């Protein structure tokens, strides 16, 4: 496995729609391993393939404190949402910044896992936010287009306010 370079805002790859995965290949297995390694290295809670320059519908997410609950979602589709949550959100592709974003409180998502088996992932709070954020990346949409007010420096927010890098 290897670390991949994270593309940052302004890179056109972040604004394109990613393509469906039709079969699992050695190359994609390597990509998924690298995405997990890169997400953990950067202390992110999620990473989408376009963020490392690959226009495939693959995301990885881990919102656990222990960093030991990875979710791999291939061709993910949100099937259900409920409620709202508003809070600071960040993105590894927009380093050093956060912004206030409203997302569903609860999100249910259907996808394939790394073995191309169907999985359902349900998330509330941070996991719900992460699913919604990462799936937006697959549409070429960055959270900055959803921010209420201005982007602010990540270190200017109160330490007890929730902020996450995805
Ligand atoms: Ni992001």
Q: What is the pLDDT of residues 76-88, one digit of tens each?
A: 999 999 999 999 9
CA distance 60 to 71: 6
CA of residue 44 to ligand 1 center, whole Å: 9
* Whether the Cβ atoms of residue 40 and residue 63 lie closer than 8 Å to each other: no
Q: What is the pLDDT of residues 25-79, one digit of tens each?
A: 999 999 999 999 999 999 999 999 999 999 999 999 999 999 999 999 999 999 9
Supply 35's token pair. 């995405």
- Residues marked as catalytic: 134
112 DSSP β-pair partners: 74, 118
110: number of Cβ within 10 Å: 15
pTM higher than 0.85, yes or no? yes
* Whether the Cβ atoms of residue 47 and residue 91 lie closer than 8 Å to each other: no
CA distance 50 to 46: 12
CA of residue 143 to ligand 1 center, whole Å: 7
CA of residue 48 to ligand 1 center, whole Å: 7
The pair phi, psi for residue 47, each rounded to 5°, is -155, 135
CA of residue 24 to ligand 1 center, whole Å: 24
Q: Which of 90, 124, 93, 91 lies closest to 107 in space, CA to CA? A: 124
Q: What is the pLDDT of residues 88-121, one digit of tens each?
A: 999 999 999 999 999 999 999 999 999 999 999 9
Domains of the chain: residue spans and CATH: 12-159 (3.90.45.10)
CA of residue 47 to ligand 1 center, whole Å: 6
């Amino acid at each position: 496995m290897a670390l991949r370079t994270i593309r940052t805002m302004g890179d056109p790859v972040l604004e394109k729609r990613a393509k469906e995965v039709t079969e699992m290949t050695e190359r994609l297995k390597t990509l998924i391993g690298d995405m997990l390694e890169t997400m953990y290295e950067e202390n992110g809670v999620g990473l989408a393939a376009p963020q490392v320059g690959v226009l495939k519908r693959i995301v990885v997410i881990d919102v656990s404190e222990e960093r030991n609950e990875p979710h791999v979602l291939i061709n993910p589709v949100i099937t259900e949402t409920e409620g709202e949550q508003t809070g600071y959100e960040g993105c590894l592709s927009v380093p050093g910044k956060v912004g206030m974003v409203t997302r569903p409180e609860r999100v249910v998502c259907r996808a394939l896992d790394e073995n191309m088996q169907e999985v359902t992932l349900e998330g509330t709070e941070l996991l719900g936010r992460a699913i919604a954020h990462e799936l937006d990346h697959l549409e070429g949409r960055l959270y900055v287009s959803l921010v209420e007010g201005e982007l602010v420096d990540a270190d200017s927010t109160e330490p007890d306010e929730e902020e996450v890098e995805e």
